[in-house]
Amino acid sequence: MQWMPAITGVGKTQQFLAVWVNVIKFNAAYVDEEVIKELVQTGSFFSNHFFVVVTLFYIASIITTAVKFVNDSTELSRARDQGEEVALHVSHSSLISSDRMKPRSGDWAIMRNLLGTHLGHSALYTMCRILQDTSSQHDVHLLRGAVFYVNMALWGTKRVTTLKYTATSVLPSFLAVLSSNNSIVMYEVMLSIQRLVNKFGLELKDPAWDLVLSIMEAIIEHIETDSRTSPASQVTSTLHDTICTIEQLMELGQFHGSVRRVFELIERCSPVRPEASVLRLITFLSSNIIPIRSDWIQKLHSLVDKYFKQETRTTIRVRALDVLSNVISLNRPAYEDELIELIVVPQLQHIECDPDILVRNVAAQLLVDLALECENKRCLELLDILEKV
């Protein structure tokens, strides 16, 4: 121990700590308890003054090994406290490569070794606490490292099997860290959610899905308000891939969360969703357009306006017209005047100017079918539109 200052002064700290790990591991019977205690105390000093991840790993190894041979309860408690401190610094020193946009695999191997020890529970708690601490929001690398390590430990490809925690125990921390409003942190959170859904989507229950959807809603809100987040960004791409996976679970009948909330997510980003996704959304929305609901005409108007008038994709626009035609045919006897006055005429009065010939043909056919059976006073309005087509 007396060599420590001289060795650290010449940059040989890591090698010296590695020697101490082996000394304790293979010569425990010959190491005095006082030396063990001093090592634990020295580990505290190093964890506060060194931020090289390999050095911190050796410190963690020393503390972990030392705890096995300490009988004094006070020293044992102190060793565990130092383990928490080392866990925090290992996360802090997880430097991110801005080109590769992911933490280094070597850093994860080191943290995994720490999480696999009895200190793993304290380390996991420490990282969740970091994510919820508003004073840490300025440290992007710290937050991203914590998100990465937590998700890899619990549902990554090489997860730590000794940590028996469900997703619902850590997802609130992921939701809290989104308040940092940082795109890099959000990207890491979204990657974590994608990994969770891809691997364990079939096993997630409603409480977990509620948190997953809340996180995705917060990320969509960030994308909508942050002009720097382009539609082609990695955050956006990962988000939409995850939504597609959730839709597949819904198609299989294996989704155990709120279907309504999923479609609300899709509706918020429908302009950049695949056609098949938007068509499913329109089908869902149309199922709620029934006269027993007080706002059913407003909902129909909103659907036609968004997915016919504002939309540019032919298939989606035709599907919106099909919904309109179906609603009219079902409710014509009681609501013909309202439907023509509030929906048909405002939406189709300039259909002759539409550049899409297929859409014009479908709209014209809808007008013809409606004109054949409607009252005379409404028929003239429809014929005026058809004449221009």
- For residue 161, the one-letter residue type is T
Lowest mean pLDDT among 4-18, 146-160, 196-210, 279-293: 4-18
Q: How far apart are CA 196 and CA 76, in angstroms?
A: 35
Q: Is the pLDDT of residue 250 over 50?
A: yes
Question: What pLDDT, on the 0 to 100 scale, is given for residue 325?
Answer: 94
Question: What pLDDT, on the 0 to 100 scale, is given for residue 105?
Answer: 56
- Which residues, 6+ apart, have CB-to-CB distance to 194 below 8 Å? 238, 241, 242, 245
Do the domain assignments include residue 143?
no
Q: How far apart are CA 90 and CA 221, in angstroms?
A: 32
Kindly report, residue by residue over 251-304, the tens digit of the pLDDT. Answer: 999 999 999 999 999 999 999 999 999 999 999 999 999 998 888 999 999 999
Q: Is the pLDDT of residue 31 over 70?
A: no
Nearest to 51 by CA among 24, 91, 1, 23: 91
Q: How far apart are CA 96 and CA 307, in angstroms?
A: 42
- First vs last C-alpha separation in the chain: 93
Do the domain assignments include residue 381?
yes
Lowest mean pLDDT among 37-46, 52-61, 88-97, 231-240: 88-97
Q: Are 58 and 21 in contact (CB under 8 A)?
A: yes
Question: What pLDDT, on the 0 to 100 scale, is given for residue 383?
Answer: 87
Residue 161: strand, helix, or coil: coil
Kindly indicate the confidence band of residue 75, based on its pLDDT and cuts at 50, 70 and 90: very low
Q: How confident is the model over 332-353, as a mean pLDDT?
A: 90
Question: What pLDDT, on the 0 to 100 scale, is given for residue 28?
Answer: 64
The total of structural domains in the chain comes to 1
Percentage of the chain with pLDDT > 70?
75
Question: What pLDDT, on the 0 to 100 scale, is given for residue 80?
Answer: 53
Kindly report, residue by residue over 108-135, the tens digit of the pLDDT. Answer: 776 787 788 777 888 898 889 989 999 9
Question: What pLDDT, on the 0 to 100 scale, is given for residue 47?
Answer: 52
Kindly indicate the confidence band of residue 107, based on its pLDDT and cuts at 50, 70 and 90: low
- For residue 32, the one-letter residue type is D
CA angle 86, 90, 95 (to 5 degrees): 160
Q: How confident is the model over 36-48, as a mean pLDDT?
A: 59
Do the domain assignments include residue 12?
no
Question: What pLDDT, on the 0 to 100 scale, is given for residue 216?
Answer: 97
Do the domain assignments include residue 101?
no
Question: What pLDDT, on the 0 to 100 scale, is given for residue 277?
Answer: 97
Report helix, strand and coil shares of the chain as percent, to nearest 5: 75, 0, 25
Do the domain assignments include residue 355?
yes
Do the domain assignments include residue 362?
yes
Q: Is the dihedral of CA 97, 103, 104, 105 positive or negative?
A: negative
Kindly indicate the confidence band of residue 76, based on its pLDDT and cuts at 50, 70 and 90: very low
Q: Is the pLDDT of residue 96 over 70?
A: no
Q: Are 86 and 52 in contact (CB under 8 A)?
A: no
Q: How confident is the model over 44-51, as a mean pLDDT?
A: 53
Question: What pLDDT, on the 0 to 100 scale, is given for residue 63?
Answer: 60
Range of the domain at 336: 293-389
Question: What pLDDT, on the 0 to 100 scale, is given for residue 101?
Answer: 43
Strand partners, 96: 103
Q: How confident is the model over 336-360, as a mean pLDDT?
A: 91
Do the domain assignments include residue 298?
yes
Burial class of 31 by CB neighbour count within 10 A (0 to 12, 13 to 18, 19+): middle
Question: What pLDDT, on the 0 to 100 scale, is given for residue 300?
Answer: 95
Question: To the nearest whole number, what is the mean pLDDT of the chain?
Answer: 82
Question: What pLDDT, on the 0 to 100 scale, is given for residue 267?
Answer: 96
Burial class of 282 by CB neighbour count within 10 A (0 to 12, 13 to 18, 19+): buried
Kindly report, residue by residue over 136-195, the tens digit of the pLDDT. Answer: 888 888 888 889 999 999 998 888 999 999 999 999 999 999 999 998 899 999 999 999
Do the domain assignments include residue 316?
yes
Q: DSSP H helical segments within 68-182, as ranges?
A: 73-92, 105-115, 120-132, 140-155, 171-177
Question: What pLDDT, on the 0 to 100 scale, is given for residue 43?
Answer: 58
Q: How far apart are CA 108 and CA 202, in angstroms?
A: 27
